[in-house]
Structure 1
Amino acid sequence: MQAEGGYWVIVPAAGVGRRMGADKPKQYLPLAGSTVLQQTLQRLLQLPQLRGLVLVVSPFDTLWRDIPAVNNPLVRVVSGGAERCDSVLNGLYELESELQPLDWVMVHDAARPCVTIADIGNLVDELQEHLAGGILGVPVSDTIKRLNDNYGIEETVDRQVLWQAQTPQMFRFGVLLKALRLALQAEAVITDEASAVELAGYVPLMVEGRRDNIKITRPEDLPMAELILQQLAAEESGA
């Protein structure tokens, strides 16, 4: 894993996770003896060449203060905005005085604690000569149907060209800053950082990752994530 000058990671964690139906945002729910956010941060803090990590939280959030990983000297905490793109932009603004346009910045979901160091290393290696950046993802394996407004099936979509986007998503600082600003000005619907970069005219690279890099969005995802973390611990220990 080589990235000249290292890289920063931005972790947007200002969402409320309504689909979990919990009494707190999903990043603070219990997972494997700690919390979802703690698991995510402690994994990211193991990355070689990490220059620092910007955690973006809601301005009304106080729960982040109880996360042990936040005390790491590499971690900064800033306030987020109304949407994910606003929060990521706030993270970029925190770094604006320190980074050059070609420096690398990753964005990783707070609720994606099962990413592997190896997959992130592969992403870094694959993007070294890329002018814009790229993302982790996996090819779609299920049959995909396109529906009409009444939930009737109209078409079976060719899945050969379809991939499921994951994070981290890693881009040149200048590219991502420009893309998010343009997307907000255009009032475009931005579901991830890559969609903003695409709208700005760039072609991000897709780098294949692992299918167990799941995002916790529903209650049934928590026990699945715990099993995956157990398996990753066994793999990493050589068991």
Structure 2
Amino acid sequence: MSGDVWVVVPAAGRGVRFGGDIPKQYLQAAGRPLIEHALRALLAHPRVRGAVVALAPDDARWPGWKMLMDKPVLRCVGGDQRADSVLAALGALPASAGDDTLVLVHDAARPNVHAQDLDALIAAADASGQGALLAAPVRDTLKRADAHGAVAATQPRQGLWRALTPQAARRGLLTRALREARDAGVQVTDEAMALERLGLHPRLVEGREDNLKVTTPADLAVVEFLLQQRTPGASA
């Protein structure tokens, strides 16, 4: 299956875990805010038609982009939870994006997504009617802690994956999945979880380990290094 692809970026969060006064999507790395790196990487893909960014209602830091990479960037007001923002952005897609339009949902603070991963994700989503997501197999030994912070057990890692973004699904299907989760009072932490509630099995697409989400100051330092390797002189 082919056709246009739209990007949805939920960016209404405050970045509480990171700390500081600046929402983490606006932190600078290699000369640009994280959200700009993410948008440029996504919009550079030839199948992507444009993006919708869900913002906090009082967001004064949004640069006001209407175009990036010669493609439209739309905005809408997001919600308190990720799923609320994604639903708002799905509703803000243009009328030309029908229920069968493939939508990629991507974290605003995950700036180092690569074109090869987007190619693989879109191909998998085209081939599957149940959605797809970038993910990475768990390679470390996993420990379960007890209430005192000691090891309670070692968990088998076979078959376990870390969910990354983008996550992909058809607009109509994802809208239905998120609405049904909301109406059931279930707080889904990613789009795949909402699809799973419908009995679907989104396709796991192995992505690069350096597709990092900035959550801590240490993450920001690593991401800045990675971005500088991709675009030498970007911080000048």
TM value normalised by structure 1: 0.91
**How many Å separate the matches in 1 of 2:139 and 2:165?**
18
Q: Say if 2:80 is the partner of 1:82.
A: yes
Q: Which residue of 2 aligns with 1:162?
A: 160
**How many Å separate the matches in 2 of 1:21 and 1:104?**
34
Q: What letter matches 1:178 in structure 2?
A: R
Note the C-alpha offset of 1:69.
6.0
Note the C-alpha offset of 1:169.
0.2
Q: Which residue of 2 aligns with 1:237?
A: none
Note the C-alpha offset of 1:97.
3.6
Q: More deviation in 32-41 or 77-86? A: 32-41
Q: What letter matches 1:106 in structure 2?
A: L
Q: Which residue of 2 aligns with 1:115?
A: 113
Q: Which residue of 1 aligns with 2:56?
A: 58
**How many Å separate the matches in 2 of 1:113 and 1:71?**
15
**Aligned pairs (5 A) from 1:22-101:** 22-65=20-63, 73-95=71-93, 97-101=95-99
**How many Å separate the matches in 1 of 2:146 and 2:173?**
36
Q: What letter matches 2:48 in structure 1?
A: L
Q: For structure 2, which runs of at least 5 residues remain unmatched after alignment?
A: none
**How many Å separate the matches in 2 of 1:120 and 1:78?**
24
TM value normalised by structure 2: 0.92
Backbone CA RMSD of aligned residues? 1.8
Q: Which residue of 2 aligns with 1:202?
A: 200
Q: Which residue of 1 aligns with 2:131?
A: 133
Note the C-alpha offset of 1:95.
2.1
**How many Å separate the matches in 1 of 2:44 and 2:97?**
22
Q: What letter matches 2:155 in structure 1?
A: V
**How many Å separate the matches in 2 of 1:198 and 1:131?**
13
Q: What letter matches 1:164 in structure 2?
A: R
**What SS is found at the alignment partner of 1:112?**
coil
Note the C-alpha offset of 1:149.
2.8
Note the C-alpha offset of 1:73.
4.6
Select the structure that is richer in helix: 1
Q: 1:23 to 1:203 in 2, by over 3 A?
A: same
User: 2:43, 2:68 within 8 Å by CA — same for their partners in 1?
Assistant: no
**How many Å separate the matches in 2 of 1:186 and 1:68?**
35
Q: 1:65 to 1:230 in 2, by over 3 A?
A: closer
Q: Which residue of 2 aligns with 1:185?
A: 183
**How many Å separate the matches in 1 of 2:182 and 2:147?**
28
Number of residue pairs aligned between Structure 1 and Structure 2: 232
Deviation digits for residues 77-108 of structure 1 (CA, Å, limit 9, x no counterpart): 11101110000000011127433332211100
**How many Å separate the matches in 2 of 1:67 and 1:75?**
6
Q: More deviation in 45-54 or 64-73? A: 64-73
